[in-house]
Structure 1
Amino acid sequence: MTFLGICLLFTYLFCQWLVQAEFFTSIGQMTDLIYKERDLVQFLKVYIKEEEERLGKIKSWASQIEDLTSKSALDPEGFLAHPVNAYKLVKRLNTGWLSLESLVLQDATKGTKYVASLSVDDCFGMGKIAYHESDYYHTVLWMQEALKLLDEGERSTTISKVDVLDYLSYTVFQLGDIQRAVELTKRLLLLDSSHERAGTNLRYFEKMLERERNEEKVNKTSDAKPNKTLYEIYTRPQDYLPERETYEALCRGEGVRMTPKKQKRLFCRYHDGNRNPILILSPIKEEDEWDSPRIVRYLEVLSNEEIEKIKELAKPKLARATVRDPKTGVLTTANYRVSKSAWLEEYDDPVIAQVNKRMQAITGLTADTAELLQVANYGMGGQYEPHFDFSRKEEPDVFKRLGTGNRVATFLNYMSDVEAGGATVFPDFGAAIWPRKGTAVFWYNLFRSGEGDYRTRHAACPVLVGSKWVSNKWFHERGQEFLRPCGLTEVD
């Protein structure tokens, strides 16, 4: 019950007590009831006014959401393709509607404001999430953005520059940039000289920086190779990916090592799968994407009707994507793979059997020992960080349960275009393959000798705008003995 409601109730009960106490027997005493009733009316008018204001806010909220949903419902996937729209939807469902509930149940509360871009609070919140996940790399990016917005004059009622600098200075230290950690901590102390933790951190950072400089001097005057600093030995994050800078540059469309000389070695042609009956009358269009390791793209592999059918079959089965545990071979989730996936059997629909046969004809490999068709959907920020499709020597049991040997090749179908992001990149040699709906790319993960080709370590870049749909078939070693004969050397 609201505060005004309680006041009305108490006043009403008081009046009831007066009446029941036989005040009506004296006109003089009953005049008090007149004044009490007058007070009740005033309370009621104030209550009505506040309720009208509250209802006005609720109506305004409803109107905003109605306008938004009327537009988003016309093209849900297109609307959610924009990462800010998707983020705001999740935020509304988690906090916005709770605020509305408070507005309905309580006297009053502040309305939710919507902006077209992320606020200081949004960026700081994302940075804190990354920090608590020990993802220091992205913590720095979000905190830098929050600090930039504050420097540009954006205001926040809950977040200050001191808060941001506190996280940012310690995080850059965690990433090994001690000099910058010192600079940021000094800036923090200029804003708040009494910040106890910052003062302690600064003394520690300066001590570590001095030690690092002394080690550099020793290494310069000796022939010995530079030793790792104590910081690197004890505190460097274990999940740090050495190729991250290359990986993210490729995702931005930078750093692709496609030289004119290499470009001349790439061709396009019609491919009939060595006169495979399925392709003789209708050969597939084949384009070279990379020469070594060889990556090819096939055009018009899937029709729009097939794509829609595959998506329709997969949607009810979509679940958080999994990876195989290198020690046990059991499928499990991992924070470096953000997507949803489903596995489709041939008996699910004739289209699946048809697509499987087509991939078998194109590659010249048997699909009898291949894994089921995997369908994956990457939404806002969906990605799969650098990984190998094949199992390495230190992971002998990954595919043991399947009994079909290692993954010899990958056939990847692109079932949608992506407005921004979503490329398949190979950090080792600097290739970036961009999604094109209806096409597919293919590469071998193993040399003919059966040894893994470590150059094929690849990643699915984060989807920035759009929704990425792919399906893939992993072909295994067993059954390919005469279709792809073994080579004579380790790198054949």
Structure 2
Amino acid sequence: MVFPLRSVLLLVLHQLVCSVSGVEFFSSINEMTKVFGYEQKMLLHMQRFLAENQGKLDFLKARLREFESERDEAREWGSAYLESPINQYLLNKRLTVDWQRVENLMEASTGEKPLNRLRKLRNRETMPDKKELDGAIDGLLRLQYVYRLKAKDLVRGVLDGVDYGTQLNSEHCVDIARLALRDQHPQLAHSWLIEAKDRLSGGERAKELKPQILALLVQAKKELEDFRGLNDTYQELISIHPVSEEHVRNYETFMETLREKSLLNESKTILEHPPIPREDEPVGEFQAYSLTCSGHWQLTPKEKRHLRCGYVTETHPFLWIAPLKAEELFQDPLLVLYHDVIYQSEIDVIRKLTNNRLVRATITGNNESVVSNVRTSQITFIPATAHKVLATIDQRVADMTNLNMKYAEDHQFANYGIGGHYGQHTDWFYQTSFDAGLVSSPEMGNRIATVLFYLSDVAQGGGTAFPQLRQLLKPKKYAAAFWHNLHASGVGDVRTQHGACPIIVGSKWVQNRWIRENDQSDRRPCELWDDSLATYAQILEMNKRNEAQAASS
């Protein structure tokens, strides 16, 4: 079940500004579920206020019916209500804008008690504010860009082909377009503004919105160099909304410059998304990550035909009794997905251990760990000694990987929020991080390997993308991915660069086990050659060529 889109995009909003020391909602579905109950209490206070003011303000009554309808729909859909990013934006919109209007109307000498209680709720530290609303919209735009979604679908509540039923109105489209322009995404902004214009209805609010839409379209078309469209839109704007003389002079000067350069009639077809690049076309790291997340980059059947799946028994004697189900996803570097290697009873314990411990995740900057939109999730670290279940999981990881868990880091648990993602990165540390003192327990060495447990299924999106391997791991509850981060020589393997793809719908929980290289030499010895300079497959191929040349000479 899915909550109506109308409430979740509003629930995601509080305290982007407090993301280091305070609560933050848009980066964790788990945290958003906690704040949702406040709106239910606000509805009760509003009901009491109206009971004391019978016949007062028909607008308030209409607003109450609208809010109650949304509440009832949310109850019918259940916990999945908070899993849709569009729902999250709309809920954020209501809590930050619509409730403010309600509060203003309720200000009167009667009904002071419910009004004061409503104010007390809205002023809580754990209520959303405008900056977290921006975080919610940013998550929507990330989904649109990475998965190449269309605004005309999103506005109808269609997310990657699945219809969730709730529609956005013209005002919502303007909010999203404005942020897209601010963050230098003019193509996306243009698509949202076209939808905003098409969805204008009659009434005073439409008269207010139309000049805003046209003004933003002028800005978008200018950035996209659609000068003919810019002029047509500007003429439409001034026909319905007078502008200052200074603005007219500036615009005429700009148009004269275009005439001199013969650009006035320059018109461009504005694409919402750029074309898919050719195989031989160079792409940036983020674009490669996005193409992998969206499924446009993947291995061919020929490249996958040598991959195997089966039962693993050789890494520990216990596995003779209880073998592990393993699926080989790549051979060099090794990437394996183990199935059914964690249990619901263990996940239940983990959820209790992580309760009220999640904080906004950071990334390693030049000289410090910083909060960044590159990583929108909330995390916590828990030592293996905290519960016997964590020690049991570590023994299982040792059986799976044949690595020593004595020097593994604390268990990391993460929950992702609206469009939650972690852009392309490597798990191993660069030497600069060691030099800056950003690596805990540096004496344990670098991260030799990663085991990533999936603690939940995800309805849409949320995969783990390996752009250089053209592999996308879809989240599968109870499974775990394993890969080596370092070459056998100890050098970081850049081919293991990966990223957590944005969540379209759902709540994603993962557990990371990062294993350090100290005391692993008997488990993964160095090769007789430096495997960081060339892969084993490349060396075999080179030997074949040398043998062929020697035979022909």
How high is the TM-score relative to the length of structure 2? 0.64
**Count of aligned pairs:** 398
Secondary structure, aligned partner of 2:412: strand
* CA offsets 1:389-441 (integer angstroms, 9 cap, x no match): 12235544365442122222211111111111111112233221111111111
Distance 1:91 1:291, change over 3 A: same
Secondary structure, aligned partner of 1:376: strand
Q: How does 1:420-439 map to 2 (within 5 A)?
A: 420-439=460-479
Distance 1:170 1:91, change over 3 A: closer
Q: Paired residue for 2:79, among 77, 83, 108?
A: 77
Distance 1:121 1:312, change over 3 A: same
Q: Would the aligned equivalents of 2:379 and 2:414 in 1 still touch at CA under 8 Å?
A: yes
The AA in structure 2 aligned to 1:149 is A
* CA offsets 1:157-184 (integer angstroms, 9 cap, x no match): 376566446546656776xx5x44x355
Secondary structure, aligned partner of 1:369: coil
Identical-pair percentage: 30
Matched residues in 2 for 1:349 and 1:458: separation? 30
* CA offsets 1:425-462 (integer angstroms, 9 cap, x no match): 12233221111111111111211112222122222111
Q: Would the aligned equivalents of 2:298 and 2:470 in 1 still touch at CA under 8 Å?
A: yes
Distance 1:305 1:125, change over 3 A: same
Distance 1:242 1:185, change over 3 A: farther
Residue 198 of structure 1 and its aligned partner are, at CA, apart by 4.9
* CA offsets 1:238-273 (integer angstroms, 9 cap, x no match): xxx923333323323x3132212112111101113x
Distance 1:405 1:87, change over 3 A: same
Q: Would the aligned equivalents of 1:121 and 1:146 in 2 still touch at CA under 8 Å?
A: no
Residue 339 of structure 1 and its aligned partner are, at CA, apart by 0.8
Q: Paired residue for 1:136, among 164, 173, 184?
A: 184
Q: Would the aligned equivalents of 2:307 and 2:328 in 1 still touch at CA under 8 Å?
A: yes
The AA in structure 2 aligned to 1:144 is S
* CA offsets 1:342-384 (integer angstroms, 9 cap, x no match): 1112232221111122112211112222211111111221111
Aligned match of 1:246 = 288
Distance 1:343 1:200, change over 3 A: farther
Matched residues in 1 for 2:107 and 2:329: separation? 60
Q: Would the aligned equivalents of 2:384 and 2:390 in 1 still touch at CA under 8 Å?
A: yes
Q: Would the aligned equivalents of 2:200 and 2:206 in 1 still touch at CA under 8 Å?
A: no
Aligned match of 1:219 = none
Secondary structure, aligned partner of 2:482: strand
* CA offsets 1:179-235 (integer angstroms, 9 cap, x no match): 44x35533433324675455555567889999xxxxxxxxxxxxxxxxxxxxxxxxx
Aligned match of 1:149 = 196
Aligned match of 1:6 = none
Tell me if 1:474 matches 2:514: yes
Between 120-129 and 419-428, report the one with greater CA deviation. 120-129
Q: How does 1:49-198 map to 2 (within 5 A)?
A: 52-54=54-56, 57-70=59-72, 72-73=74-75, 77-105=79-107, 116-132=166-182, 135-137=183-185, 140-151=187-198, 157=206, 160=209, 163-164=212-213, 166-167=215-216, 170=219, 179-180=225-226, 182-192=227-237, 196=248, 198=251
Aligned match of 2:322 = 282
The AA in structure 1 aligned to 2:188 is L
Secondary structure, aligned partner of 1:311: helix
Aligned match of 2:424 = 386
Tell me if 1:313 matches 2:353: yes
Distance 1:153 1:192, change over 3 A: closer
Q: Would the aligned equivalents of 1:385 and 1:459 in 2 still touch at CA under 8 Å?
A: yes
Aligned match of 2:299 = 258
Secondary structure, aligned partner of 2:469: coil
Matched residues in 2 for 1:447 and 1:346: separation? 27
Matched residues in 1 for 2:323 and 2:98: separation? 54
How high is the TM-score relative to the length of structure 1? 0.71
Tell me if 1:402 matches 2:432: no
Aligned match of 2:377 = 339
Distance 1:160 1:199, change over 3 A: farther
Matched residues in 1 for 2:521 and 2:463: separation? 32
Distance 1:457 1:206, change over 3 A: farther
Distance 1:198 1:426, change over 3 A: farther
The AA in structure 2 aligned to 1:87 is Y
Secondary structure, aligned partner of 1:279: helix
The AA in structure 1 aligned to 2:206 is T
Aligned match of 2:335 = 295
Residue 472 of structure 1 and its aligned partner are, at CA, apart by 0.8
Matched residues in 2 for 1:207 and 1:344: separation? 66
Residue 295 of structure 1 and its aligned partner are, at CA, apart by 1.4
Secondary structure, aligned partner of 2:327: strand
